[in-house]
Structure 1
Amino acid sequence: MRANQARLDLDALRHNLAHARSLAPAAKAMCVVKANGYGHGALTIARALEPLTDALAVACIEEALELRSGGITCPILLLEGVFEANELPLASEQNFWLMIDNRQQLEWLEQAELATPVTCWLKIDTGMHRLGVVAEDAAEFHERLMACANRTGELVTCTHFASADELDNNQTERQISLFNKITADFSGPRSAANSPGVLGWPDAHYEWIRPGYMLYGNSPFPKPHPNTEALLPVMTLASAVISIRDVEAGEAVGYAASWTAERPSKIATVCIGYGDGYPRLATNGTPVLVNGRRAPLAGRVSMDMITIDVTDLDDVSIGDEVVLWGPELTAGEVATHAQTIGYELTTRMPERTPRVIIAP
């Protein structure tokens, strides 16, 4: 069989959640497992986190139903709320929590006939300008939700940061200030901190934190930060060498001849490509690890294969392990060579690449 594996260290996942809790010890934790658990496998991740978290969060009801069908019983928040009024009875039946971020969703909830009331979060737009109630309408929405017969439990008021990963950008400070002003007279808990908020903005921890990307061991910051040093990558993407050949100086390698040998070179072919989740836009020189040693990408990424320059490595053989990212080579570092972010690398991991649990 092909050697490709996305190896999952669930002990690292639990460690990362514990780290998030240590940074915000007074807050409850809602672990974000949307987009198939950031590409790691939603059910696998949810099952590991459920005993340790206060709630889970997904993007939509389809993702929530997958978790319920897999035996997950804890509260699950639909981060984008419902898209149609007919989702509300199902959300009530399955104990899904609802995000309310616009007037249509509020009216659907008020007019619905539900067997059981639902827990709601009210989203306030403090500067992201994507989802959420504008500041001028926040008090009205809060009052109507508090009075809504179809709502139960605490009403959590939340917002989402646009630039929290940029620690020198004062937009986050402005968002926190506006959020504090809007919610000053609201009863109930608040939430604002996504992963960069948890790691870098303690004033944003409030009563609920919403760690996502950091749970998987990846830093959301472009530069080192002391609070990210403890994070342990959950996924190691690995493959193996399947061919080795000598290439003379002046000879090209791969599609479009994008890499040309400047010296007599030894090229190893690895059986992984963009069809397996490795980014097609990774440039020449992108590092991989061959038996734990760095070697650069040489040539364009193909659907099923990449080629790497192992001229400076001794004793490379067919079958040797190649790590594309993991604890010693982060997804974030690889992403910079592909002009993207680590979030995209993991969430685009296809089913073709098997997830293998190495630490249950």
Structure 2
Amino acid sequence: MARPLVADIDLKALRHNYRVASELAPTSANMAVIKADAYGHGAANCARALAEAGAPAFGVASLEEAIALRDAGISQPILLLEGIFDAGELARVEMLDLWQVVHSDWQLEALLAYRPARPLTVWLKLDSGMHRLGFTPEAFVVRWERLAAAGTQVATEGLHLISHFASADQARSVQFAAQWSTIEQVRDRLGCRICVANSPATLARPATHAAWNRPGVMLYGSNPLDGALPVGVSLDPVMTLRSRLIAVQTLEADEPVGYGGRFRTAGPSRIGIVAAGYGDGYDRHAVDGTPVLVDGVRAPLAGRVSMDMLTVDISHLPAAKVGSEVVLWGRSSTGSVLSVDEVATHCDTIGYTLLTGVLPRVPRRFLE
């Protein structure tokens, strides 16, 4: 009998969330970001489902991720969001018909020195104020003009400005306003097409919707905003991390549970042992009280997460027993939902890290 921990991936929910992104920005082409193995959900299967939902292109972090998608039969355009990491990659970029971001002069010079059989699609990165990748506004204009003149290397009709917001998730952000102003100024100066709306901007910054948007974590049912989702917007959880109780301990008051005895029972207690731990990617920083769902009912974490197991207080659940379903995040078989974002707050992190942190030994089960 297999260990009961599994990550169920709801492809219907994934397509629903993509349709939400598309309905929020009906005049934009919405590139689905599926880097980091589709945020831990399985890139090939998610790409197929998203293609069925109408996704016209995909965004990934590296050539290796793009190759895996091509090998899986994905034919849509794929954008390398960080561009190439070595000039020698350009031949594969051409062979696989990939799009690429250019964010540094060495990438620009490598591209202009390359002699492709047909012009390549290039998106030029503007550092609008995040100060991570890209060119300053004045430098951007100079590089844009060089690329626009490079007809043999660059498909000028595919040339776009791309930039990234550092704080689009915050309702009132001076930094966001400054970045958007910078982007608008460069866009108006060059008359160029742009792609700047990430998940939070897709959800809550309609002014930034443009030729292309690139929703990411929202596709997987995670809310990237500081506050609630906009009125009328609903995202469905795509991943349910599901396991079972494998033992139940009956303890008296003031008994320690788990490594270091961090948790002690307040009175006579029933402690359920769950087949899941940090060796599977569940965050060891989860504090006592972090919620799980046992047979669809909330139960608190009780004690430190260990490599292969964690312990929860099920004293209030007399019917819970060995074999009872435990949902670490996602949707239980009873229909109850525990948001990965809520779990993340108890781990002092964000939903992104929990989703991408689910390790390969946890089997993914793709469901319609």
Q: TM-score, normalised by structure 1?
A: 0.98
3-state secondary structure, aligned to 2:189: coil
User: Of 336, 339, 344, which aligns to 1:335?
Assistant: 344
State the match for 1:269 in structure 2: 273
* Aligned with 2:357 (options 318, 327, 348): 348
In 1, distance between residues paired with 2:92 and 2:247? 53
Question: Does the CA contact (< 8 Å) of 2:204 and 2:230 recur in 1?
Answer: no
Contact kept in structure 1, 2:121 and 2:159, CA below 8 Å: yes
1:335 Cα deviation after fit = 0.4
C-alpha separation in 2, matches of 1:308 and 1:131: 43
Q: Return closer, same or farther for 1:182/1:188 CA change in 2, 3 Å cut-off.
A: closer
Q: CA deviation at 1:227?
A: 5.2
Matched, 1:136 2:145: no
- 1:181-239 Cα distance to aligned partner (Å, 9 max, x none): 01213244211100001001111111110000000011002321225841111011100
> Which deviates the most, 25-34 or 113-122?
113-122
- Alpha-carbon distance between aligned partners in 1 of 2:231 and 2:94, rounded to the nearest angstrom: 38
Q: Which of 90, 94, 97 lines up with 1:95 in the alignment?
A: 97
- The Cα offsets for residues 225-273 of structure 1, whole Å up to 9 and x where unpaired, read as 2258411110111000000011111110000111001111110100110
**Shift of residue 100 of structure 1?**
0.7
1:16 aligned partner: 17
1:298-327: CA deviation from partner (whole Å, max 9, x where unpaired) = 000001000000001121110010000014
- Who is 1:28 aligned against? 29
Number of corresponding residues: 359
**What corresponds to 1:150 in structure 2?**
153
Distance 2:281 2:347 in 1: 12
Change (3 A) 1:228 1:249: farther
Structure 1 contact 89–115 (Cα < 8 Å) conserved: no
Task: Kindly state the Cα deviation for residue 282 of structure 1 after the two structures are TM-superposed.
Answer: 0.5
Q: Percent identity?
A: 47
Q: Which TM-score applies when normalising by structure 2?
A: 0.96
Compute the displacement of 1:28 (Å). 0.5
Match of 1:110 in 2: 112
**Secondary structure, aligned partner of 1:274:** coil
Corresponding position of 2:200:
196
Closer, same or farther: CA 98–76 of 1 in aligned 2, 3 Å: same
| Contact 2:171–2:226 under 8 Å retained in 1 | no
Instruction: Supply the distance in 1 between the matched residues of 2:233 and 2:19 (Cα, whole angstroms).
Output: 14
The answer to whether the 8 Å contact 2:161/2:193 transfers is: yes
Kindly report the root-mean-square deviation, in angstroms, between the aligned alpha carbons of the 2 structures: 1.1
Q: Contact 2:102 / 2:122 at 8 angstroms: preserved in 1?
A: yes
Letter in 1 for 2:118: T
Structure 1: stretches of 5+ with no match in the other structure: none
Counterpart of 2:334 in structure 1 is: none
The 3-state SS of whatever aligns with 2:270 is strand
Equivalent residue, structure 2, for 1:207: 211
Aligned counterpart in structure 1 of residue 82 of structure 2, from 80, 83, 87: 80
Return the alpha-carbon distance in structure 1 between the equivalents of residues 189 and 257 of structure 2.
Answer: 65
Q: Distance in 1 between matches of 2:342 and 2:162?
A: 31
1:50 Cα deviation from its structure 2 partner = 2.1
Q: 2:6: which partner in 1?
A: 5
Rounded to whole Å, the distance in 2 between the matches of 1:212 and 1:247 is 45
CA contact (8 A) 1:199 1:227 kept: no
Following the alignment from structure 1 to structure 2, what is the Cα–Cα distance between the partners of residues 177 and 270? Answer: 50
- Cα deviations by residue, 1:75-119 (Å, 9 ceiling, x for unpaired): 000000001111011101101101011111111100012222210
Aligned twin of 2:300: 296
State whether structure 2 residue 329 is matched by structure 1 residue 325.
yes
Q: Is the 8 A contact 1:93 1:116 kept in 2?
A: no
Note if contact 1:200-1:227 (Cα within 8 Å) is conserved in structure 2: no
SS in 1 for 2:338: coil
Secondary structure class of the residue paired with 1:66: helix
1:253 aligns with 2:257: yes
- Corresponding position of 2:73: 71
Specify the code of the residue in structure 1 equivalent to 2:367. I
State the AA in 2 paired with 1:154.
Answer: G
In the superposition, relative to structure 1, how do residues 276 and 228 fare at CA in structure 2: closer, same or farther (>3 Å)?
A: farther
